[in-house]
Chains A and B, each alone.
Chain A
Amino acid sequence: QQQVKQSPQSLIVQKGGISIINCAYENTAFDYFPWYQQFPGKGPALLIAIRPDVSEKKEGRFTISFNKSAKQFSLHIMDSQPGDSATYFCAATLGGYQKVTFGTGTKLQVIP
């Protein structure tokens, strides 16, 4: 019940296109859903996060869509750039700063 399922495992998008990564969770007690971006040799960096009382959150080119009834959330990267090429992890947590359950990661490659 603590799992967070993430898809796809890898994604290739043309520059300027939209990258979409999907996640689903089981535990309805989760109350904070962050997305992390990880470059090779670096730790994950918090990209954007949402709480279940909001259906959408946008920060620049990054948007989280959240569907509480379906227990699903997704990351949309608009106007994808080669610099966005990284591994993206969705996550869910109880109480924000406590144990974080991560998805399995999506390796995004944006080609020129």
Chain B
Amino acid sequence: KAGVTQTPRYLIKTRGQQVTLSCSPISGHRSVSWYQQTPGQGLQFLFEYFSETQRNKGNFPGRFSGRQFSNSRSEMNVSTLELGDSALYLCASSLNEDGYTFGSGTRLTVV
């Protein structure tokens, strides 16, 4: 079966711009989470959605937002990009309490 699909794989944006990343979870998975991975901070939780509702939110500024659609697909948006937002953004989906399946991520570079 298809895994978690993230698009695009790579993205280069300029400071001040905004960006939208997309995630298609595994079919049937209703929980979708987003993580930011950087060499300095490691894997940090952004937010988690279940049935279109945000259930959990990490400690990121309001410039980071997300949403989930009725088909469980999710998007995250970062507005007013800063150089420090350069990272690998990972989406993960889950069916039950047995953990996440991660996508390969979107590599965002802010210049």
Binding site for B on A (CB under 8 A): 32, 34, 36, 41-46, 49, 89, 95-105
Q: Can you report 24 residue pairs joining A to B where beta carbons are below 8 Å apart?
A: A32-B99, A36-B102, A42-B104, A43-B92, A43-B102, A43-B104, A44-B43, A44-B102, A46-B99, A49-B99, A89-B42, A96-B94, A96-B96, A96-B97, A96-B98, A97-B96, A97-B98, A98-B48, A99-B33, A99-B48, A100-B45, A100-B100, A103-B42, A105-B42
Where chain B touches its partner, the secondary structure class is strand
Which 8 A-B residue pairings sit nearest by Cβ, starting from the closest? A96-B97, A43-B102, A97-B94, A102-B43, A99-B56, A46-B99, A34-B99, A104-B42
Nearest Cβ on chain B to A17's Cβ, whole angstroms: 26
Task: List residues of chain B with CB within 8 A of the CB of A102.
Answer: 42-44
Task: List residues of chain B with CB within 8 A of the CB of A103.
Answer: 42
Contact among A44, A96, A97 with B90 in the assembled complex (CB-CB below 8 Å): A44
Task: List residues of chain A with CB within 8 A of the CB of B56.
Answer: 98-99
Where chain A touches its partner, the secondary structure class is loop
Interface size class of chain B, counting residues whose CB lies under 8 Å from the partner chain? 20 to 34
B101 located at the interface, meaning its Cβ lies under 8 Å from any Cβ of chain A in the complex: yes
- How many pairs of residues, A versus B, come closer than 8 Å at their CB atoms? 60
Task: List residues of chain A with CB within 8 A of the CB of B42.
Answer: 89, 102-105
Nearest Cβ on chain A to B48's Cβ, whole angstroms: 6
Q: Is the CB of A97 within 8 A of B31?
A: yes
Q: Is the CB of B97 within 8 A of A97?
A: yes
Binding site for A on B (CB under 8 A): 4, 31, 33, 35, 42-45, 48, 55-56, 58, 90, 92, 94-105
Task: List residues of chain A with CB within 8 A of the CB of B100.
Answer: 46, 97, 100
Q: In the complex the two chains form, what is the Cα distance from A72 to B48 in whole Å?
A: 26
Q: Is the CB of B101 within 8 A of A46?
A: yes
- Closest B residue to A44 by beta carbon equals B102
Q: In the complex the two chains form, what is the Cα distance from A28 to B43 in whole Å?
A: 21
Q: Is the CB of A43 within 8 A of B105?
A: yes
